[in-house]
Structure 1
Amino acid sequence: MEKRIVIATHAMFSEGIASSLKMIFGDAVPVECITAYVDLSVDYQDKLEKIVSEHDYEHAELVVLTDILGGSVNNEFMGLLDKYNFHLITGINLALLFEVVTCPAEDLTANLPSIVEQAREHIVLCNELVEAKAAAAADDQLAELNEF
C-alpha cells in the first residue's frame, strides 16, 4: 500500500510548507499542493472533488491536510468524507506533516490519532516555557540557599 499526501490551503501556504518539507527530505517525499483561491478562474470545488473522486483507493491511502477548520478549503473536503474513504486533517503544521510523511501507509489509519496529538504538542506559547524555566531556576537557587 502506498500513500498520497495532498496539502490544500488558502493561497500559497501549501507550497511554503512543502518547501520546508523538501528542505529536510529532498525529493524523496512527493506531496501535491493545492493553492486554493489564487486563480479566480479555477473552479476549486470541482478541483478538490476530483482529487478525492479520482484517487486509487485500492492501492494508496489518501491523506489531505488543510490549513484551518471551518475554512472554505477544509469545508469542501469535509463534504466529501461521507462519500470517499480518505483521511482529512486540518490545522497543518510542519510537525504534523513530518509525522504523516514518515508513518508507513499500512500503519496510517491506526496512528493518525496519536500523530495529530503529537502535532498539537508542538503548538506552544514559548513565553510560558521561559517563565517556567526561570521559576525553576529560582526554586533551585532557593533550595541551595536553604541547604546552608
Structure 2
Amino acid sequence: MANQFLIATHGRLAEGFYESVKFFNSQIENVHYLNAYVNHNDFEMEFIEKVKELSGLSLIVFTDIPGGSVNRIASKHMATFGYKVISGINLSVLLELVFSTENMNEETIERLVTSSREQLVFMNKLIEEMEGKEFTDD
C-alpha cells in the first residue's frame, strides 16, 4: 500500500505545497493537506477527522514550524493514530519523500531528513566560494 502524506501548516502554505507537488505530478493521489486556522478555528478537530479518514494507511504528516501549534497538535496525536511527523517542511524533502518508492520506515525518514538539511544553501557564499575556486584551480 502506498504511503500517504498529509501536509498541515498555518494559513494556506499546506495548499501551496500540495499544488507544487501536483505541478510535478498531476496524477498523484496520496498527498493531502490541511490549511490551519483559515476556514475553521478548531484545527485540532479538523486534523483528527482527516487522520481518521486516512487511518489504516501508512501516514506521514508534514508540519511547518517545529514549535508551532500545528506541530504540537500533530505530535500530540501521533501515538494514538500511529503516524509519523516531520516538521520544518520544505519542498525539496517533500518531493523526495512523496516520489520515493522506498518503504518509509524510521531509518529511511531519518536519512531523508538528514539529507534535506544540506539543501538549505546561502547561495551568495556558495557562488563566491565557487568563483574563488575557479581562479585557484589553474
Q: TM-score, normalised by structure 1?
A: 0.83
Q: CA–CA distance in 2 between the matches of 1:48 and 1:90? A: 15
Give the fraction of aligned pairs with identical amino acids, expressed as a percent: 31
Who is 1:64 aligned against?
A: 61
RMSD: 1.7
Aligned: 1:84 with 2:84 = no
Does the Cα contact within 8 Å between 1:4 and 1:61 map onto a contact in 2? yes
Out of 106, 131, 140, which is 2:128 matched to? 131
Unaligned runs of 5+ in 2: none
Out of 108, 117, 123, which is 2:104 matched to? 108
SS of residue paired to 1:75: helix
Aligned: 1:94 with 2:88 = no
Amino acid at match of 2:16: G
Q: CA–CA distance in 1 between the matches of 2:51 and 2:6? A: 10
Structure 1 stretches (4+) deviating beyond 4 angstroms? none
Amino acid at match of 1:108: M
Does the Cα contact within 8 Å between 2:55 and 2:81 map onto a contact in 1? no
Q: CA–CA distance in 1 between the matches of 2:34 and 2:133? A: 45
Does the Cα contact within 8 Å between 1:67 and 1:90 map onto a contact in 2? yes
Q: CA–CA distance in 2 between the matches of 1:27 and 1:131? A: 40
Cα displacement string for residues 96-129 of structure 1 (whole angstroms, at most 9, x for unaligned residues): 1111112236x11141111111222211111121
Structure with larger Rg: 1
Q: CA–CA distance in 2 between the matches of 1:108 and 1:123? A: 23
Aligned: 1:17 with 2:14 = no
Q: CA–CA distance in 2 between the matches of 1:24 and 1:103? A: 13
Who is 1:47 aligned against?
A: 46
Aligned pair count?
137
Q: CA–CA distance in 1 between the matches of 2:30 and 2:116? A: 20
